[in-house]
């Protein structure tokens, strides 16, 4: 389809997209998703890792349809508007490791950049430290960019290869439809389900998938990215993406108040712990990893739906990171950080810095 001006990429468009996501996320919570977790890309990919049995933390196992919708919505929008471009080959291993590190950092904090804003909008003061960590991590990433950091150029790939990630997602969706949860049972066919905890809290399939598809479409059109919001402000003084992030926060805050979901405080907030230092540090690592990889976890899903194989590798790195985080005791819980969470933050920080320093090169022109 030949397009005219893309409304969603305008200043008004990005604000509308942010506000719509900010409205839909608390509604998903109302329909059953966990507290301040209407949408959380990191948490939901962690739940998917659990549903597939890659980790066996029995509180966080559910094949979240929102994530599937994000990729498929982006695939549909990019195909319709001539933006589906199979590409890849830009340092895939580095991107896999950045995805893995990002997930471990996010699970020390307990949330992705979207959930940082959603937790704040639900009144969770602990997320202030996560927000500060995210901004500081992205800032550290911009220092690498200023020094010439670059993961190299992508090359065009075949249509079939670009289709691979959407097809994997279709396969996941088929599993979710064929093996729905059996009440009281921890397993249905090959899929694991949670009987309590966040993994047991979910909106009905049609609502989750519908919202996921819709968000996938509008986010692909608008290039919505919360990491990019801070990066572009720091690097270029551009407010464009940040205006979308601010709209998400404002809309989620108002919606939470209207739905009676706004509970300001620090203690007893849903799926959160109160360690200021580790909330900051976890999100610092995640922010640095997202910056070095060129997108927040949501954006990586949308890019993977557009045929970007490197973004797909990042997503698979995140899912693997979730498995590592839970199997090795790195992930936090409301009781505090995991037994090896501190080591996890240090090792992943070292990996991010290694990737940063080993990819300082001047781009050839």
**β-pairing verdict for 191-192 and 155-156:** unpaired
Which uninterrupted H or E stretch holds 284?
helix 276-293
Stretch that binds other proteins, among 152-160, 196-204, 316-324, 332-340 (CB under 8 A): 152-160
Closest distance between other proteins and the C-beta of residue 68, in Å?
23
Instruction: Among 29, 36, 90, 157, indicate the residue that binds other proteins (CB under 8 A).
Output: 90
How far apart CA 226 and CA 248 sit, in angstroms, is 10
The answer to whether residue 309 forms part of the interface with other proteins (CB under 8 A) is no
The answer to whether residue 365 forms part of the interface with other proteins (CB under 8 A) is yes
Closer residue to other proteins in complex, CB, 81/214 = 81
The answer to whether residue 155 forms part of the interface with other proteins (CB under 8 A) is yes
The answer to whether residue 30 forms part of the interface with other proteins (CB under 8 A) is no
Of 317, 299, 321, nearest to 308 by C-alpha is 299
The answer to whether residue 83 forms part of the interface with other proteins (CB under 8 A) is yes
Q: Which of residues 223-252 bind other proteins (CB under 8 A)?
A: 223, 228, 231-232, 235-238, 240
Q: Which residues share a beta bridge with 191?
A: 188
135 CB-near residues (< 8 Å, 6+ apart): 230, 287
The answer to whether residue 64 forms part of the interface with other proteins (CB under 8 A) is no
Please say whether the beta carbons of 226 and 117 come within 8 A.
yes
Please say whether the beta carbons of 207 and 215 come within 8 A.
no
Closest distance between other proteins and the C-beta of residue 149, in Å?
9
Closer residue to other proteins in complex, CB, 2/185 = 2
Of 48, 30, 32, 227, nearest to 145 by C-alpha is 227
How far apart CA 91 and CA 361 sit, in angstroms, is 13
User: For other proteins, how many residues bind (rule: CB under 8 A)?
Assistant: 29
Contacting residues toward other proteins, per CB under 8 A: 6, 9, 81, 83, 85, 87, 90, 145, 150-151, 153-156, 223, 228, 231-232, 235-238, 240, 294-295, 308, 310, 363, 365
């Amino acid at each position: 389809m030949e397009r005219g001006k893309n409304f969603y990429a305008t200043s008004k468009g990005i604000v509308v997209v942010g506000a719509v996501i900010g409205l839909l996320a608390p509604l998903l919570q109302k329909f059953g998703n966990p507290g301040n977790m209407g949408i959380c890309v990191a948490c939901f990919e962690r739940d998917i890792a659990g549903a597939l049995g890659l980790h066996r933390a029995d509180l966080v196992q559910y094949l979240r349809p929102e994530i599937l919708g994000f990729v498929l919505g982006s695939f549909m929008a990019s195909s319709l508007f001539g933006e589906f471009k199979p590409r890849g080959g830009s340092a895939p291993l580095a991107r896999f490791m950045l995805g893995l590190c990002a997930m471990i950092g996010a699970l020390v904090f307990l949330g992705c950049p979207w959930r940082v804003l959603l937790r704040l909008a639900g009144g969770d003061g602990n997320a202030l430290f996560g927000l500060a960590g995210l901004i500081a991590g992205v800032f550290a990433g911009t220092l690498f960019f200023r020094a010439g950091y670059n993961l190299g150029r992508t090359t065009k790939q075949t249509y079939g290869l670009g289709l691979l990630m959407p097809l994997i997602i279709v396969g996941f969706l088929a599993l979710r439809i064929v093996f729905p949860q059996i009440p009281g049972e921890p397993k249905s066919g090959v899929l694991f389900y949670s009987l309590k905890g966040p993994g047991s809290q979910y909106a009905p399939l049609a609502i989750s998938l519908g919202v996921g598809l819709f968000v996938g479409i509008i986010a692909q059109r608008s290039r919505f990215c919360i990491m990019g919001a801070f990066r572009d402000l720091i690097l270029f003084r551009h407010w464009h993406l940040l205006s979308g992030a601010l709209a998400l926060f404002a809309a989620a805050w108002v919606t939470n108040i209207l739905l009676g979901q706004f509970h300001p405080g620090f203690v007893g907030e849903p799926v959160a712990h109160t360690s200021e230092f580790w909330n900051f540090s976890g999100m610092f690592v995640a922010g640095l990893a997202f910056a070095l990889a060129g997108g927040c976890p949501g954006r990586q899903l949308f890019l993977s739906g557009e045929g970007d194989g490197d973004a797909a590798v990042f997503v698979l790195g995140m899912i693997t990171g979730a498995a590592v985080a839970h199997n090795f005791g790195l992930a936090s819980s409301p009781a505090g950080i995991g037994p090896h969470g501190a080591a996890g933050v240090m090792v992943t920080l070292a990996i991010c810095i290694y990737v940063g320093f080993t990819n300082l090169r001047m781009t050839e022109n």
